[in-house]
Amino acid sequence: MSTAEILEQLPKLGSHDRQEILDRLCTLQEAELGRVHQQWVEEAMKSGPARPATSEDWTLALQRGLARSGSGT
């Protein structure tokens, strides 16, 4: 059952059941966000020592972001 299907059923349930489902959905979301955060930390650790961002770093990051958004430059 998808999250959307679960949320569709919430109004039909009692207060206690709704709260239990919402608590579990929030726990699942927190776990997913924790996993994503851990990936970011691992990527940062693998990238080497910290250094100040250069102007070129910012330009390249902007270009990557625009390319992902479909905006282009």
Question: pLDDT value at position 72?
Answer: 59
**What does each of the 73 residues of the chain score in pLDDT, given as a tens digit?**
888 888 888 899 999 999 999 999 999 999 999 999 999 999 999 999 989 999 999 999 999 999 999 875 5
Question: pLDDT value at position 33?
Answer: 96
b/e burial code for range 38-54 (CB count within 10 A of at least 16 → b): eeeeeeeeeeeeeeeee
Question: pLDDT value at position 10?
Answer: 87
Judged on CB neighbours under 10 Å (0-12, 13-18, 19+), 18 is middle
Question: pLDDT value at position 71?
Answer: 72
